[in-house]
Amino acid sequence: MGDYSSKQLAQQLALALGATVGLAIGLSVPIALFLGKAGGVAFVVGSLIIAAPQAWLAISLFSRFSAAPTLLGIGKFSISAVLFAVWFSKASEPSPGALFAGAILALLVTPGIYYWQGRR
């Protein structure tokens, strides 16, 4: 493997996050057929709750004015926790199974796609 610039790493992560969210949207249709519309929406929201803080973390890490990575990691998990809390407090049908399935999809698929992008 060659040397990577911050821009290349950020582009690969953006592609991985975009592909993950696209996959979640595509999978939400069959999930909505089985669990109802609320389940399909919760699946996509679960993946976004994980993907949005990951994007924020990547932007923060690759910016010039970055804080310590440990603080950024704490911020990422805090943002995710707040987003989960908001979803459970505001959603009329939170569908926790579908929500956490979407979150698990984002946690597992994004690194795999990122790795695959780096191998090309």
pLDDT digits 0-9 by tens, 29-79: 999 999 999 999 999 999 999 999 988 887 887 776 667 878 888 989 999
Range 93-118 average pLDDT: 92
Q: Which pLDDT does position 14 carry in this prediction?
A: 84
User: Long-range contacts: 108-111, Cβ < 8 Å, 24+?
Assistant: 109/19, 109/20, 109/23, 110/16, 110/17, 110/20, 110/50, 110/51, 110/54, 111/16
> Chain-wide mean pLDDT for the chain?
88
Predicted pLDDT of residue 1 = 45
Q: Residues of the chain with pLDDT > 70: what percent?
A: 93
